[in-house]
Amino acid sequence: MSVALIWIIIGIALILSELLLTSVIAVFLGIGAITTGLLLHWDLIEQSATQFAVFGAVSLALLVLARGHFKRWFMGYTADEDEAKPNFQRDIGARVKVIRDFKHGAGRVLLNGVQWDAFSDDELKAGDTAWVVANEGIQLTVAKQKPIKVEQQER
């Protein structure tokens, strides 16, 4: 097996490993290895020191210049989220399901698959739908009616 083929196989393995790692680094190492293998195959480089230099330079250049673009491509992008808002503010206006009756203004709700302690001035029972009106760290304030500001923003 030629050295060029070994570089190419290593490159393909690194790119495929990215499917499991999702760190978006192995893909650049893989491209660097494939580039080195192709240059070896075309007899443009020979010495092992040159091989490692090409591998390192191509990998590093791609990592620095293209990682942000590739990461969005691999990880996806959600256009409907307002990235300017902190995470706790994004929940305001979200619909939640009541999973434990509210007693003395306190109960439990389900938001994005996670259970939260919640407070409400409204009488809420398990199975009801409510809306997040405030987020105080690890506790939500919810109401039976959707907040007016959120309704106006959706129009």
| Residue 81 domain flag | no
Q: Which residues contact 15 (CB under 8 A, 6 or more apart)?
A: 26, 27, 30, 31, 34
What is the reported pLDDT for 122?
A: 92
Q: Which residues contact 126 (CB under 8 A, 6 or more apart)?
A: 98, 99, 100, 101
What is the reported pLDDT for 44?
A: 95
| Residue 104 domain flag | yes
What is the reported pLDDT for 43?
A: 94
Q: Which tokens belong to 59?
A: 């990998």
Percent of the chain with pLDDT over 90: 55
50, 75, 100: which is the final residue of a domain?
75
19, 49, 75: which is the final residue of a domain?
75
19, 50, 75: which is the final residue of a domain?
75
**Cα–Cα distance measured from residue 106 to residue 124, given in angstroms and rounded to the nearest whole number:** 9
Residue 14 belongs to domain spanning: 3-75
pLDDT, mean of residues 115-143: 91
What is the reported pLDDT for 78?
A: 52
User: How would residue 66 be classed by pLDDT, with cut points 50, 70 and 90?
Assistant: confident
Give the global pTM.
Answer: 0.48
More confident residue, 111 or 77: 111
User: How would residue 67 be classed by pLDDT, with cut points 50, 70 and 90?
Assistant: confident
CA dist 54 → 43, 90, 155 (Å): 13, 45, 55
| Residue 154 domain flag | no
| Residue 80 domain flag | no
